[in-house]
Amino acid sequence: MESLLYFAQEYLESSYCVICKVGEYGDVYHCVSRYDQGKKVTMPSLEQIITKTIETKEMVIAQEDTHEIICLPIKNIQLNKVMGVLSFVQQKDTEYDFFAMEQVAIIGENLMDVLHQKNTTKVQLPVNNSFNLSFKPFFTDSYNLCCITDSDSGDYLFMNQSWERTLGYSIEELKAYNFSNWVHPDDINETIKVFQDVCDGKVIRSFINRYRTKWGDYKYLEWDATLDEDRRVIYAVARDITSQHENHEKLFFQSTILKAVQDSILVIDLEGKISYINDAVISLTGYPKNYLMGRPLDVILKGVDRSKTINVEVSDFLKDDNYIEFQIERRDGEHIWIEVRTSVLEDVYGDAIGFLGIIKDITHRKKYEDTLMKRNEELSKANKELDNFVYRVSHDLRAPITSALGLIELCMEASLEEVKEYLKLQQRSLVKLDDFIRDILNYSRNNRMELKPNRVEIKDLIDVTLEQYKFISNYKLVKITKEINIENHLYCDESRLAVILNNLISNAYKFTTLVPNPEIKVEVNVSPNDLVLVIEDNGIGIKNDHISKIFDMFYRATDVNNGSGLGLYIVREAVKRLGGEISVESILNEGTKFKITIPNLWSIFPKEIKEKATN
C-alpha cells in the first residue's frame, strides 16, 4: 500500500505539497505535512475535515489560513462503505491542476480494491508486460521516468515510455540489461551502494547519477525509490535534471569567474537597488555582502564630497555604455577613486531588467595623474622662468658692462678729477654686476645642489651675516635688535639658510636707510621640531597690490633700489627646498615683516650623532 501511495505522491508532487497517510475506518490520524526543509508540522484541524469526508462519502476541499486541504474517501463500492481517507495539502496560492484532481478521484475510487485484497489474501504483483493495476495511467503517462526493479537482480521489470523519450533506447533494449550497464562508470559504486540501501528498506530521495543515452552522452537523473518488502521489488521514479544541472554548472562557472576577477562587479535592478555583487566589491568598499544587497546604489556613494569631485547621480550612473569617475568613502573612512563602466541588462525580449556595473579602483592612477599634473605645472613654470631669466640676465649683465666701457672711453679724455668720479660710477656698476652674478649663483646652487643638513649655530650665522653690512653707508644709523631663543640643537642646510638670511637682511638694510630712525629686528626660535625666523624692519613698506608678486622671478616692487629682482625669489625657492614656509606682512610707509618656518631635522638624525653633538 505504501508503495502505491509513493507513486501517487511522485505524480502529484508538482501540484501538492504532501500526501497524508491512510488510516483504517474510524482510525483518524493527525496529518503530518512535510516541507522541502524537512520540517514536520502537525495539523489537528484536519481531523474535522477527515470526519466530514467519512460522513459525506464525498471529496471535501477546505480552506485554511495558508493552505487548502483536499480529502478523498476510499470506498468499498460493493459495501458502500468508506474504508479510509486520502488527504492532500497544498499551498493556498497554488493553482489547481484539474487533470491531477481527476486522477486523484480515480485513486479514491480504485484504491479500496487493493486494500480489500490486502486484507483477505496476499496480492501477487504482476511484474510482466500485463501490468495493469488501477493506477497504471499514473505510471505510463508520467513525464518522469518510472520503473519497477527486481531487488535481487537489479533487472528492470517494468518501465514507462519516458525512458525511451529521455535515453533514446527502446524499452526492450533497456530491460535487456541490468541497471549497472547504463550508469556512468564514475557513478557505478555509489549507485550500487544506494541500491543496496533501498533493498535494506531505506527510502531514497533525490539521489543523482548519470545514465547513458543512445546518442553517446549522459543524462543526469534524480531518483526517489522505495522497497515493497512483500513483493521484493523496488518502485522508483527518476527526473531528468540534465538541463538544470548544466545551467547550474554554467552558473557556478560564471560565478567562479566573477569571484576570481579583480574588478568589482555589481548588478543594479530597475529600482536602483543592488541585486548582485562579487567578492571584489566587498574588498573594495569594506562592507559585508548582507549590508549591500538590496540597498540603493547611494550606499556605495556614501560620504562622497560631490562638490569636489563631480555631481554623481544614480540616473547618471545607470546609463548604457556609460563611463564615470568619482570618489567614494570606504567603510573605514578612507576615500578612494573609482571608475565605473555600466551597461544595460536585457531579457530575451530586449526589455531592460537592470544594469551591470564594472568598478575599478583607480586611486593609484589618480595620484599618479595628480603628480604628473604638478610636475607639468612645475615644468611649465620653469620654462617660463627660464625664458624670463635669459632675457633679464642678458640685459642686466650687459648694462653694467656697457656702462663700464662707456666710462673708460670718457676717462681717456677726462681730467684727473673727472676720472675719479667716473671710477666711482664704474665701481657702483661693477658692484651691481657682482651682486647680480651672486644672485644667479645662489639661484643655480639652490636648484642643483642636494640638501646637506648639518648642525647650525644659528646665533653665529646671524652675527656673520650682519657683520657683512658694517661697511655700507648709514650702517651705524640702523638699530639692530636680536631676540634668540634656542631650546634645541638646529640641524639644517646651512648654505641655503645663509642665502635666506643674507637676502632678507640685505633688503631690510636697503629700505630702512631711506627713513628716519631705521630699525631692523631679528627674532629666532629653535625648538626640537622647527626653526622660526622673523626679520622685521620699519622701512618704506610694500604696496598691497604688490605683495602677492614679490616672490616672482625678477619682480621689483619699487624703483627706489635697482636690485636684480631675484633675491626674494631665491629666498622662497630655498625655503621650499628646506620643506618650510614663508609669509610676509607689510604696510606702506610703516615697514615689512617676513616670517619663515623651517623643519628642524634634529629628530631624524641617528642617536650616536646626537650624543656627539651634545658633548
Domain ranges of the chain: 1-123, 143-260, 261-361, 451-615
Distance CA(116)–CA(136), nearest Å, equals: 18
Q: How far apart are CA 424 and CA 418, in angstroms?
A: 10
The residue whose grid cell reads 541490468 is 178
Per CATH, 1-123 and 143-260 having the same topology is answered yes
Residue 472, pLDDT score:
67
In whole angstroms, give the CA distance from residue 71 to residue 20: 10
The pLDDT, as a whole number, for residue 147 is 92
As given in the structure block, the three cell numbers for residue 393 are: 640676465
The dihedral through the CA atoms of 341, 347, 351, 353 has a sign that is negative
Domain 451-615 sits in which CATH superfamily? Histidine kinase-like ATPase, C-terminal domain (3.30.565.10)
Q: Residue 188: what residue type? A: I
Mean residue pLDDT of the chain comes to 75
Q: Cell numbers for 422, please give them.
A: 667716473
Residue 220 pLDDT greater than 70, yes or no: yes
233-240 sheet: strands from edge to edge: 156-159, 145-150, 233-240, 218-228, 204-212
Q: What percentage of the chain exceeds 70 in pLDDT?
A: 64
> What tens digit of pLDDT does each residue of 28-58 get?
333 333 333 333 334 556 778 888 888 888 8
Query: Residue 66 in contact with residue 91, Cβ under 8 Å?
Result: yes
Q: In the numeric block, which cell numbers belong to residue 94?
A: 497554488
Cα–Cα distance between 136 and 138 in angstroms, integer?
A: 5
What would the DSSP string read from start to end of 216-242?
Answer: S-EEEEEEEEEEETTTTEEEEEEEE-H
How many Å separate Cα 578 from the centre of its chain?
A: 39
Record: fold of 261-361: Beta-Lactamase (3.30.450)
In tens, the pLDDT along 151-188 reads 988 899 989 999 999 999 999 999 999 899 999 999 99
| Angle, in degrees to the nearest 10, between helices 567-577 and 416-448 | 20
Which of the listed CATH numbers 3.40.50.720, 3.30.450.20, 3.40.50.450, 3.90.960.10 matches domain 143-260? Answer: 3.30.450.20
- Domain 1-123 fold: Beta-Lactamase (3.30.450)
Q: Which pTM does this prediction carry? A: 0.38
The count of C-alpha atoms lying within 13 angstroms of the C-alpha of 57, restricted to the half-sphere facing its C-beta, is 9
